[in-house]
Amino acid sequence: MPADFELEALKAQAVAARTFIVRRLMAGDHSGVPVLEADVSDTVSHQAYVSQATLERDWEHGGKSAALAKLRRAALETRGVIMTYKGQPITASFFASSGGYTENSEDYWNFAVPYLRSVASPWELAITPNLAVTVSFSTSELLSKLGLESKALPASAGLSATGKVKPVSSSALPAVVLSLTDGHRVKEISIGGTVFTGREVREKLGLRSSQFTWKRQGSKVLITTYGNGHGVGMSQWGANGMAKEGSTATQILKHYYSGISFTQVSTLLKK
């Protein structure tokens, strides 16, 4: 999360990040790390972070001391606080921005988590840079990435910006959105008779999100995505928008994580 975000958004991020690592530590989870003794990797698969040495060199003594002080304040004012559900640390997933709604966990990861429910997230729509991003593919490139034969794509298919299914001409190659998630993303889509999940299309094509539209333009296919990330849990830009409107970190977290409680880490460690 950028250091120039509102303090309450940074505090919400601090709690989410702390909860994420505490859950892994308590479970002894070392999955996905490059070496066995590591707790997390410095990637979006776990948590990207800045090392203490880099903070001191590039921030504290590199002209970013005010920003660093703000981050330390966010950590200090939430010291030891984590989110729990039924007494256990939650999977505090977060992502950059949504297209207006977050996603149910089972619509992206195939398993339902009671506190990772789809909720409205309109706050980022007016403040997120590059909310909608368009990328282009040649028809052959797109079909190759999807593992399909080289066939012509329809002139227009996918979702509108409001999340409604757009019709496809019967004379075109069959490509139709079969269903949408509660988060207004593509759940299933049939392309050339092959059914894909929205996540599969996103990952095969390297898209920013699974909320997308596309259109044919000459020899190119233009795909426009809305938001950035998997969509499950807290939207970082949404959190900043909520903070700008006066919401506290507690209010932000309770909005994005349904039915959670707050607990001190020390309380759990004593059990």
Name which residue leads in pLDDT, 92 or 166.
92
List pLDDT tens digits, range 207-241: 999 999 877 787 788 889 999 999 999 999 999 99
What's residue 187's pLDDT? Answer: 94
pLDDT for position 186: 94
Instruction: Tell me: pLDDT of 270 over 80.
Output: no
Single pTM value for the model: 0.86
Pair of tokens at residue 232: 């499950």
The string of pLDDT tens digits covering residues 44-89 is: 777 888 888 988 888 888 889 999 999 999 999 999 999 999 999 9
CA separation for the pair 106, 90 (Å, rounded): 16
**For residue 184, what pLDDT is reported?**
94
3-state secondary structure of 81: strand
The answer to whether residues 241 and 227 touch, using CB atoms and an 8 Å cutoff, is no
Q: Is the pLDDT of residue 174 over 50?
A: no
User: What pLDDT is attached to residue 175?
Assistant: 62
User: Using 50, 70 and 90 to split pLDDT, how confident is the model at 169?
Assistant: very low
Task: Identify the residue with better confidence: 106 or 139.
Answer: 106
Sheet hosting strand 175-180, strand order edge to edge? 175-180, 186-191, 194-197
pLDDT in tens, 112-168: 999 999 999 999 999 999 999 999 988 788 888 988 864 545 555 554 545 554 433
